[in-house]
């Protein structure tokens, strides 16, 4: 059965690997094996793979760069579909960019810079893809995806193609209609503004320096570990709770920025999850604030 499934996937999906360690494909560098790891080479192959999974009632997950994700040590029982390696096209028409879901935000921002377009500087250092950024309305330093999005093309759970205009995206803090309705982002259209190339570059450099100074970019992490509580900052609450540098095994609250959990080298998913649990309990006990994970947890722990 397993070989038959592998053969069928190869026929429709492009590159297919079996028992692929997810530690190779997440920014945390943590995660057990996925039963099947699929890298579609076209949007059609992606759509066919998703439809195949639904027809066969197989669990699947759409993977970008693997940021903001913690995969369990037991791995993922199903089909992991990675989009960023192949489905990353970017085309320009005046001030508008049409971008496939797998394009890295850093690459899109660099493309905009080269075209003298402003509006995406905030995204230059976010280690994720366009698809994931749209799903969660990613943002940093005062900018969010909702500020530049025109429309999103998605695949629905029923296998239909939908084009959703920005005003119907139901954007909120780290959420959108795409997340709520379990749509899959295929591509999106962004509208930027003409700008001065040197000014754009200077702003990107300014934000890069801020990230290097304030964030633990030297160690694997999944970015901000907890969502920002209303009127508060998760990192400050964790710091004020005296948890800077607190560890469970090789999982540690960053000494540089308490909003990040980092992998000191050999952290397991179970250690990260336990660390998050203890931190959340401690912060709630001290300040009455419940920290909600921003990191998505997937697979068997």
CATH number of 2-82: 3.30.43.10
Give the H or E element holding residue 91: strand 90-93
| 102-139 pLDDT, tens digit each | 999 999 999 999 999 999 999 998 889 999 999 999 99
Does the pLDDT at position 162 exceed 90?
yes
6 contact partners, CB below 8 Å, separation of at least 6: 16, 18, 36
Does the pLDDT at position 283 exceed 70?
yes
Q: Helix or strand or coil: residue 263?
A: strand
Top-level class of domain 216-298? alpha beta
Q: What's the mean pLDDT when you consider all of the chain?
A: 95
Kindly indicate the confidence band of residue 159, based on its pLDDT and cuts at 50, 70 and 90.
confident
Give the H or E element holding residue 239: helix 234-240
Kindly indicate the confidence band of residue 174, based on its pLDDT and cuts at 50, 70 and 90.
confident
pLDDT for position 158: 84
| 230-278 pLDDT, tens digit each | 999 999 999 999 999 999 999 999 999 999 999 999 999 999 999 999 9
pLDDT for position 124: 92
pLDDT for position 1: 65
| 50-75 pLDDT, tens digit each | 999 999 999 999 999 999 999 999 99
From the number of C-beta atoms within 10 Å of its C-beta (0-12, 13-18, 19+), residue 290 rates as exposed
Does the pLDDT at position 37 exceed 90?
yes
CATH number of 90-199: 3.30.465.10
Euclidean distance between CA atoms 13 and 42, whole angstroms:
9
Instruction: Tell me what percent of the residues of the chain surpass a pLDDT of 90.
Output: 90
pLDDT for position 205: 94
Nearest to 149 by CA among 136, 246, 12: 136
Does the pLDDT at position 210 exceed 80?
yes
Nearest to 192 by CA among 101, 104, 90, 102: 90
Domain ranges of the chain: 2-82, 90-199, 216-298
Euclidean distance between CA atoms 39 and 42, whole angstroms:
9
The average pLDDT across 173-183 equals: 93
44 contact partners, CB below 8 Å, separation of at least 6: none
Euclidean distance between CA atoms 121 and 210, whole angstroms:
13
The more confident residue out of 157 and 264 is 264
| 132-154 pLDDT, tens digit each | 999 999 998 899 999 999 999 99
* Residues that are catalytic: 174, 224, 294
* Maximum CA extent, the chain: 58
pLDDT for position 69: 96
DSSP, res 289: -
pLDDT for position 3: 85
């Amino acid at each position: 059965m397993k070989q038959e499934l592998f053969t069928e996937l190869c026929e429709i999906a492009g590159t297919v690997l079996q028992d692929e360690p997810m530690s190779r494909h997440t920014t945390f560098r943590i995660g057990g094996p996925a039963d099947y790891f699929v890298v579609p080479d076209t949007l059609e192959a992606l759509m066919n793979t998703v439809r195949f999974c639904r027809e066969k009632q197989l669990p699947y997950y759409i993977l970008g760069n693997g940021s903001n994700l913690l995969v369990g040590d037991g791995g993922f029982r199903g089909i992991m579909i990675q989009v960023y390696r192949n489905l990353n096209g970017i085309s320009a028409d005046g001030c508008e960019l049409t971008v496939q879901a797998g394009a890295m935000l850093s690459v899109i921002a660099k493309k905009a810079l080269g075209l003298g377009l402003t509006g995406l500087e905030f995204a230059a250092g976010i280690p994720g893809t366009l698809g994931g950024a749209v799903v969660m309305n990613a943002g940093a330093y005062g900018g969010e995806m909702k500020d530049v999005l025109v429309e999103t093309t998605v695949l629905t759970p029923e296998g239909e193609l939908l084009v959703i205009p920005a005003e119907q995206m139901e954007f909120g803090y780290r959420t959108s209609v795409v997340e709520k309705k379990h749509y899959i982002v295929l591509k999106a259209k962004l509208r930027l503004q003409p700008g001065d190339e040197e000014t754009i570059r200077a702003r990107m450099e300014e934000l890069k320096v801020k990230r290097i100074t304030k964030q633990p970019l030297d160690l694997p992490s999944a970015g901000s570990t907890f969502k920002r509580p209303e009127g508060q900052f998760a990192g400050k609450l964790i710091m004020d709770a005296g948890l800077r540098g607190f560890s469970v095994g090789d999982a540690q609250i960053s000494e540089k920025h308490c909003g990040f959990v980092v992998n000191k080298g050999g952290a397991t998913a179970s250690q990260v999850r336990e660390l998050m649990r203890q931190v959340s309990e401690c912060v709630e006990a001290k300040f009455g604030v419940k920290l909600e994970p921003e990191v998505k947890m997937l697979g068997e722990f």
